[in-house]
Amino acid sequence: MNVSRLTVPQRISAVSVLVIALAAFLPWVSLLGVSALGIEGDGVITLVLAVAGAIVLALTTGLIGKKKNPGKWSQISLLVLAILVALVGLIDMNGAAAIGLYLTFFGGVAWVVGAAWQLSASKKIVEEHQAQQPM
């Protein structure tokens, strides 16, 4: 595994995915000393989305194997997964929210930022490459 191949936005996405996966096993709701873990509810959804995102990120960036340039569709899929995680965290947020739910929400927001940044950076690279091509 070669982490140095990842760009800064991809590193943000990778760390966010790890935080989201960890947060699924932490308390999401705590009221009067009684708490519920994320995997007892919607944390299963965010865990599956985080695992899917980690797999897409690892396979399309060359984190494992040869160095690759991620395609547009893989970046869009990562952005969609990130938005879904952030929405689940936002929808589940309530007055009894605990650390796991906060980590899920803020991890989802950070993942959205990383995925959008990577998609934007890739568009600029493609535009610069096309501008250099002779007509």
* Predicted pLDDT of residue 118: 92
Q: Report the percentage of the chain scoring pLDDT > 90.
A: 65
Residue 35 forms part of a structural domain: yes
* Predicted pLDDT of residue 99: 95
Residue 1 forms part of a structural domain: no
Asked if 9 and 57 touch (Cβ cutoff 8 Å), the reply is: no
Q: What is the mean pLDDT of residues 63-74?
A: 77
Give the total number of structural domains in the chain: 1
Residue 108 forms part of a structural domain: yes
Give the domain range for residue 69: 6-132
Residue 31 forms part of a structural domain: yes
* Predicted pLDDT of residue 131: 56
Residue 80 forms part of a structural domain: yes
What would the DSSP string read from start to end of 78-110? HHHHHHHHHHHHHHH--TTB-HHHHHHHHHHHH
